[in-house]
């Protein structure tokens, strides 16, 4: 599933492929692809003739800066694939952007992803995302917090926000308005590295524990980024169709019923927020 490292890998590939090029055509093949777009499909078609100034990312959101932003979210299964010449149209191709013969296909099996024409709002004076110095932020991304790899994030501030929450720590980690970029996989990994049970109350954790947790989150994502992201199947590939390798380094996610790599205790898998959560009951004791 695309989380921050996967989206950053795709952003970098997209930037190198289309920066400075002019959008010459748009084809949309599925009604859900533009469901959140301002002016629907017309809002996206109106960008034809515009030039790519940057490809920017905040958390799991990215946007192509055409002067106006085209926001891209990959959902659970979205892929962006670059082809020179006409792209082959597969059964899950939801849209194709044409840049004078170089085509970008938006492929999305589960249709949770989308393309969204948006407008810029004033930001906080610092670069709004990775990939551009521009401070304005797309209106549809304005509610998304800075991510853990953002140089303008302050761990002390997000730890303070976290301690005000009266819910479980993993819920807070998945809340993109507190800190963005973390999904289920990297939450489990960061919690495992920090030795914190996913159901611990956020308000019961110390500042030191929380800052340690966020630093582990940063480390996990940097490690994943170095390896091109996490792949379990064909649902995540970079813009060239290649898979990442970080799944070979996972210590928690997907290891329910298997021995903990640190202590040997059987890892537990529990239901959490309509999804799974895997942890070691010895290394990550529940208390509070």
Residues 213/233, Cβ–Cβ less than 8 Å: no
2 as an active site residue: the answer is: yes
Query: Applying CB under 7 A, does 139 fall inside the site for DNA?
Result: no
Choosing from 37, 118, 176, 231, the residue that interacts with DNA (CB under 7 A) is 176
Beta bridge partners of 106: 80, 95
Interatomic CA distance for residues 46 and 42, integer angstroms = 6
- Going from the C-alpha of 147 to that of each of 37, 102, 164, 180, 288, the distances in angstroms are 23, 31, 19, 4, 27
Site for DNA in 198-237 (CB under 7 A): none
Choosing from 84, 133, 274, 287, the residue that interacts with DNA (CB under 7 A) is 274
- Report the largest interatomic distance among the alpha carbons of the chain, rounded to a whole angstrom: 59
Interatomic CA distance for residues 137 and 70, integer angstroms = 11
Query: Applying CB under 7 A, does 143 fall inside the site for DNA?
Result: yes
Number of residues that bind DNA (CB under 7 A): 35
Site for DNA in 31-90 (CB under 7 A): 32, 36, 59-61, 73, 75-76
- Tokens at 1, concatenated: 């599933």
- Least Å distance, CB 19 to DNA, is 24
- Least Å distance, CB 57 to DNA, is 11
Active-site option among 58, 60, 117, 269: 60
Residues 269/257, Cβ–Cβ less than 8 Å: yes
- Least Å distance, CB 99 to DNA, is 25
Query: Applying CB under 7 A, does 288 fall inside the site for DNA?
Result: no
Interatomic CA distance for residues 53 and 17, integer angstroms = 12
Which window, 8-16, 47-55, 62-70, 179-187, contacts DNA (CB under 7 A)?
A: 179-187
Q: Which residues, in sequence order, are CB contacts of 146 under 8 Å at separation 6+? A: 58, 59, 152, 153, 179, 180
Nearest to 41 by CA among 116, 120, 140: 116
Nearer to DNA, 3 or 65 (CB): 3
Residues 66/136, Cβ–Cβ less than 8 Å: no
> Which positions from 93 to 132 touch DNA by CB under 7 A, shown as an x/- string?
----------------xxxx--------------------
As annotated, the active-site residues are 2-3, 60, 275
Binding site for DNA (CB under 7 A): 1, 3, 32, 36, 59-61, 73, 75-76, 91-92, 109-112, 140, 143, 164-168, 171, 174, 176, 183-185, 253, 269, 273-276
């Amino acid at each position: 599933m695309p989380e921050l490292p996967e989206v950053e890998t795709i952003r970098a590939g997209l930037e190198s492929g289309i920066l400075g090029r002019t959008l010459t055509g748009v084809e949309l093949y599925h009604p859900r692809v533009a469901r959140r777009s301002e002016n629907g499909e017309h809002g996206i078609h109106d960008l034809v003739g515009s030039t790519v100034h940057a490809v920017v990312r905040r958390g799991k959101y990215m946007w192509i800066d055409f002067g106006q932003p085209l926001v891209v979210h990959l959902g659970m299964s979205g892929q962006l694939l670059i082809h020179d010449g006409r792209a082959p149209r597969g059964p899950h191709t939801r849209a194709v952007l044409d840049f004078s013969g170089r085509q970008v296909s938006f492929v999305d099996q589960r249709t949770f992803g989308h393309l969204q024409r948006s407008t810029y709002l004033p930001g906080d004076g610092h670069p709004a995302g990775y990939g551009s110095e521009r401070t304005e932020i797309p209106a549809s991304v304005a509610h998304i917090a800075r991510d853990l790899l953002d140089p303008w994030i302050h761990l002390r501030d997000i730890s303070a926000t976290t301690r005000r929450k009266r819910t479980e720590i993993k819920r807070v980690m998945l809340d993109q308005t507190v800190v963005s970029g973390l999904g289920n996989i990297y939450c489990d990994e960061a919690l495992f590295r920090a030795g914190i049970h996913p159901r611990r109350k956020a308000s019961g954790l110390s500042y030191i524990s929380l800052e340690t947790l966020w630093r582990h989150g940063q480390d996990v994502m940097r490690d994943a980024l170095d390896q091109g992201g996490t792949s379990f199947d064909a649902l995540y590939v970079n813009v060239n169709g290649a898979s990442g390798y970080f799944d070979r380094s996972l210590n928690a996610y997907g290891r329910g019923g298997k021995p903990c790599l640190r202590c040997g205790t059987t890892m537990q898998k529990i239901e959490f927020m309509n999804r799974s959560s895997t942890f070691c009951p010895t290394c990550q004791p529940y208390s509070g």
